[in-house]
Amino acid sequence: MEQHLPLAEPYRIKVVEPIRMTSREEREMLIRQAGYNPFLLPSEAVYIDLLTDSGTSAMSDRQWAGMMVGDEAYAGSRNFYHLQAVVEELMGFKYVIPTHQGRAAENILFTVMLHEGNVVPNNMHFDTTKAHVLHKHGRPVDLVIDAAYEPGLPLPFKGNMNPAKLEALIAQVGRENIPIVMLTLTCNSGGGQPVSMANIREVREVCRRYGLPLFLDACRFAENAYFIKQREEGYRDKTVREIVKEIFSYADGCTMSAKKDALVNIGGFLALRDQDLYQKCSVWAVLFEGFPTYGGLAGRDMEAMARGLTEVVDEAYLASRIGQVRYLAEQLTAAGIPIVQPPGGHAVYLDAGAFLPHIPRDQFPAWALTVALYLEGGVRAVEIGTVLAGRNPETGAHDYPRLDLVRLAIPRRVYTDRHMDVVARAVINIYSRRDQIRGLCFTYEAPVLRHFTARFKPVDAA
């Protein structure tokens, strides 16, 4: 019988960057020298780098061409106006402040909106957002649905906020102590899981009743919109652009790390609906980032960002992007490997607790899995588990997170499905001899953000 043609990447490759597979012996030496910390490996020691999907995208020829028409004026660069027009058309926000990356937009927004003792609800805070709330002496609260903490449960929108939890929090702390409500699209800390349109609407409705502004952490908005089109009743026949427009119509503004769904290597922005708030934010933008029409970026970077934002909502691109993540996930699932189900938009998350049940949590099973993966296939992944979570500042004990995960984040338009085959095989190989993987202990641990600089040794090593 005749078969459908498979769907291949909707682009061809014009420029290549050589990468090299090292030998097992080299990797053993390299990871030992790096103190068993993948963050400390030189990138050239890595064959397939799945540390992050942030800033690692391949730009298109159109974006590179845009870099050549950068207007590097200090004020009023044409690329800024282009970016502003694209953001307004796509998201409906009139005011845009470019920033050097996502966390800089968070810094500006929280400086204006947050006061000591305030509480910020979010489906799940990403680390930088959490750190910024804490830095302003606020309290970040995660209100995601409980299913988000059950890795095996394949629900379509595990990034949803529980609106009843939001109402309860408002009743408990008082609306005057909540300056903004946030939703992170997609929910990175929960496995790259999308938020449904119905949920965004529900949360919006609670916010409206209490007069609270709703902000989106929009890093992966296009991936979230694509999931809505695929999974939510009533959206199949809408375009991704229409879905994106509707998503943002419920929000008062957004912070954006353009390093994800704007397909650039550096950049971000803060987008706002309200002129007053924009004026307040621009004051801090000048202090932290630069004049509000460049915000810490070159004109050419804003042009690449504007062009990337129009490319990312292309449905053939999104089908290939999300399809590649699913392709990797399906191979792992077929081999019985425990992953967060369903796979996310930008990454597959291995459930290290279930993968390595023989390693006690204080010997960092998820971290040990990242080391094993590097040794096996030269693949660099990131631990989203106990090491990342840090210590409880009061007791000094590990602040055990609910899940010990390893994230395989897939850069956009960078690797082929053949690279995914290598990753899948590496994971499957180590799974077949998982009982031989040993835990780790610290030889150096920094007091804050310990994961970046920590050094380890295998537990039974001298």
Nearer to ligand P70, 112 or 218 (CB): 218
Output the smallest distance, CB 55 to ligand P70, in A: 7
Output the smallest distance, CB 102 to ligand P70, in A: 3
Give the bridge partners for 456, in sequence order: 442
Angle at 425 between CA 335 and CA 317, to 5 degrees: 90
**Cis (ω within 30 of 0) for the bond into 292?**
no
Nearer to ligand P70, 170 or 267 (CB): 267
Contact footprint for ligand P70 (CB under 6 A): 51-52, 54, 101-103, 126, 128-129, 184, 188, 217, 219, 257, 259, 268, 382, 409
Comparing CA positions, the residue from 25, 64, 39 lying closest to residue 444 is 39
Output the smallest distance, CB 350 to ligand P70, in A: 15
Contacts of 247 (CB under 8 A, 6+ apart): 185, 197, 200, 216, 221, 224, 225, 228
Query: Cα(246)–Cα(248) distance, rounded to whole angstroms?
Result: 5
User: Among all chains, which residue has been given the structure tokens 């380890």?
Assistant: 456
Nearer to ligand P70, 250 or 269 (CB): 269
Nearer to ligand P70, 51 or 112 (CB): 51
Output the smallest distance, CB 452 to ligand P70, in A: 9
Output the smallest distance, CB 105 to ligand P70, in A: 8
Distance between start and end Cα atoms, the chain: 61
Let me know: does 47 contact 423? Beta carbons within 8 Å.
no
User: Among all chains, which residue has been given the structure tokens 């999907």?
Assistant: 53
The full 3-state SS of 420-446, as one line of letters, equals HHHHHHHHHHHHHCHHHCCCEEEEECC
Nearer to ligand P70, 129 or 193 (CB): 129
Number of residues in the chain: 462
Output the smallest distance, CB 354 to ligand P70, in A: 22
Q: Which residue is nearest to ligand P70 (CB)?
A: 102
Nearer to ligand P70, 191 or 439 (CB): 191
Output the smallest distance, CB 275 to ligand P70, in A: 25
Query: Cα(71)–Cα(65) distance, rounded to whole angstroms?
Result: 13
Nearer to ligand P70, 79 or 129 (CB): 129
Output the smallest distance, CB 124 to ligand P70, in A: 9
Output the smallest distance, CB 462 to ligand P70, in A: 31
Output the smallest distance, CB 366 to ligand P70, in A: 13
Nearer to ligand P70, 126 or 294 (CB): 126
Contacts of 243 (CB under 8 A, 6+ apart): 197, 225, 228, 229, 235
Nearer to ligand P70, 101 or 431 (CB): 101
Contacts of 31 (CB under 8 A, 6+ apart): 38, 41, 371, 374, 375
Can you list the pairs that 251-254 forms with residues at least 24 positions away whose Cβ atoms lie under 8 Å? 251/183, 251/200, 251/204, 251/214, 251/215, 251/216, 252/180, 252/213, 252/214, 252/215, 252/277, 253/93, 253/109, 253/213, 253/215, 253/216, 253/277, 254/91, 254/93, 254/215, 254/216, 254/217, 254/218, 254/221
Nearer to ligand P70, 175 or 450 (CB): 450
